[in-house]
């Protein structure tokens, strides 16, 4: 006898924790200290689940593939992507909920938030303690940004934003996610959530390789206008106003208009 499961109303939401805290792990002792820090700060089983991917033996998971995996299995309303070497100081789970509720009131279409990033005009917005300085506060909060530092990123899971396919490595995925959010009509924000990052970051050959790959990826997507024919109309996307007008004229000639 076959069994047909009853349909489920898609407007309802399955229960899950508020936060899924996701980390690529290369050092289990350091990761345990991070989890203990968050748990002491109120991210208990009532509010959070902790997910990790194990890179302690070999780098089986780069950041881009790891983030895709985390998003696919996370149950939290918010997915926190963070480094294993961050520690909470005084800002805790209640403070983060307050900051995110304020974002909801400010911009219902926000997708990403973090403690450090840069604005469209190039100004840095930072709230962190790290080897570069204690209790750093740069810029106003919250501020809309076009990039986020990868030490601590919050993704609103229902925003349906992820990383780009075709990119790999461990750098600049925060910037890629901000660009993906922008393409989806969403926004990214730097918020006042102070924590400690034990590392000062690393800019090495792999970083420069990731930068070249990211630039090439978006150059390919955005440098030329796209001519798209739908069943109802013709679209010219990208390329700026003048190039879009020229492309529209070329398309019209090809279609015999």
Per-residue pLDDT, 7: 85
Residue whose tokens read 């993906």: 180
pLDDT tens-digit map of 4-21: 777 877 766 667 999 999
Per-residue pLDDT, 242: 46
Per-residue pLDDT, 212: 92
Please choose, from the candidates 214, 221, 102, 110, the residue with its C-alpha nearest in 3D space to the C-alpha of residue 160.
110
78 confidence band (pLDDT: 50, 70, 90): very high
Please choose, from the candidates 192, 180, 114, the residue with its C-alpha nearest in 3D space to the C-alpha of residue 148.
114
pLDDT tens-digit map of 182-212: 999 999 999 999 999 999 888 889 999 999 9
The answer, yes or no, to whether residue 241 has pLDDT greater than 60, is: no
Q: What is the bridge-based pairing of β-strands 110-114 and 152-156?
A: antiparallel
Of residues 143 and 6, the one with the higher pLDDT is 143
Domain ranges of the chain: 19-217, 224-254
- What is the spatial distance between Cα 150 and Cα 144, in angstroms, rounded to a whole number? 16
Fold of 19-217: Spore Coat Polysaccharide Biosynthesis Protein SpsA; Chain A (3.90.550)
> What integer is the mean pLDDT of 78-98?
98
């Amino acid at each position: 006898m076959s069994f047909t499961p009853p349909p489920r109303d898609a407007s309802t939401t399955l229960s899950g924790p508020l936060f899924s805290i996701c980390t690529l792990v290369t050092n289990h002792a350091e990761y345990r200290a991070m989890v203990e820090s968050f748990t002491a700060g109120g991210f208990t089983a009532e509010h959070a689940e902790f997910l990790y991917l194990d890179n302690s033996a070999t780098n089986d998971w780069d950041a881009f593939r790891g983030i895709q995996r985390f998003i696919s299995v996370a149950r939290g309303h918010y997915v926190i992507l963070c480094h294993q070497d961050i520690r909470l100081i005084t800002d805790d789970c209640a403070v983060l909920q307050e900051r995110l509720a304020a974002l909801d009131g400010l911009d219902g279409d926000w997708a990403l938030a973090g403690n450090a990033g840069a604005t469209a005009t190039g100004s840095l917005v930072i709230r962190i303690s790290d080897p570069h300085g204690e209790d750093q506060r740069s810029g106003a909060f919250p501020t809309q940004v076009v990039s986020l530092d990868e030490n601590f990123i919050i993704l609103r899971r229902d925003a349906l934003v992820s990383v780009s396919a075709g990119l790999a490595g461990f750098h600049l995925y925060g910037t890629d996610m901000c660009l993906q959010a922008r393409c989806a009509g969403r926004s990214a924000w730097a918020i006042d959530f102070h924590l400690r990052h034990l590392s000062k970051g690393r800019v090495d050959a792999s970083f420069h390789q990731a930068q070249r790959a990211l630039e090439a990826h978006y150059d390919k997507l955005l440098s030329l206008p796209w001519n798209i024919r739908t069943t109802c109309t013709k679209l010219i996307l990208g390329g700026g106003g003048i190039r879009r007008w020229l492309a529209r004229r070329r398309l019209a000639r090809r279609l015999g208009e």
